[in-house]
Amino acid sequence: MKRLVALALLVAAPAFADTPLPPAAMADTQLPDPRQEAKAKALMDELRCVVCQGQAIADSDADMAGQMRALVRERIAQGESPDQIRDWLIDRYGAYITYDPPMSAVTAPLWLAPIVLLLAGVWIARASFKQRRRR
């Protein structure tokens, strides 16, 4: 019975993610200036939705993503640069919010792990080939 309740809650969770409130004012409305909209769109493609995990706020239908799109457009319209907005969002939500996290002590393993794994793979392959030649 407990498993059934847990499964029902898990399946129903996405239904509770959206609110009945209308979307943010600038969530789906483009800026009048095409250059500003291009900056906003480029930034929205770089920012991760905190609800959807893995989807950019530009592509997400979640209410939170809509609010973040509106925030990006409003700040771009006020003259802030995409870098300033990205830095503010990173300060607020952490480096997870961006698909290109800045190098820091916390994100260093993300940047270094592929290199370490590649070197380990080369080392293992080299040892395997040496062993085959000896036979």
Q: Where are the domains of the chain?
A: 2-102, 103-135
At the fourth CATH level, the homologous superfamily of domain 2-102 is Cytochrome C biogenesis protein (1.10.8.640)
Share of the chain above pLDDT 90, in %: 37
Kindly report the CA angle at 102 between 100 and 71, in degrees rounded to 5? 65
Query: Is the distance from CB of 62 to CB of 51 less than 8 angstroms?
Result: yes
Q: Average pLDDT over the chain, rounded to whole?
A: 83
pTM score: 0.64
SS3 content of the chain, % helix, strand, coil (to 5): 65, 5, 35
The helix (run of H) or strand (run of E) holding residue 63 is helix 63-77
| Residue range 36-77, pLDDT digits in tens | 999 999 999 999 988 887 899 988 888 888 899 999 999 999
Tell me what the mean pLDDT of segment 96-119 comes to: 83
- Confidence tier at 123 by pLDDT (50, 70, 90): very high
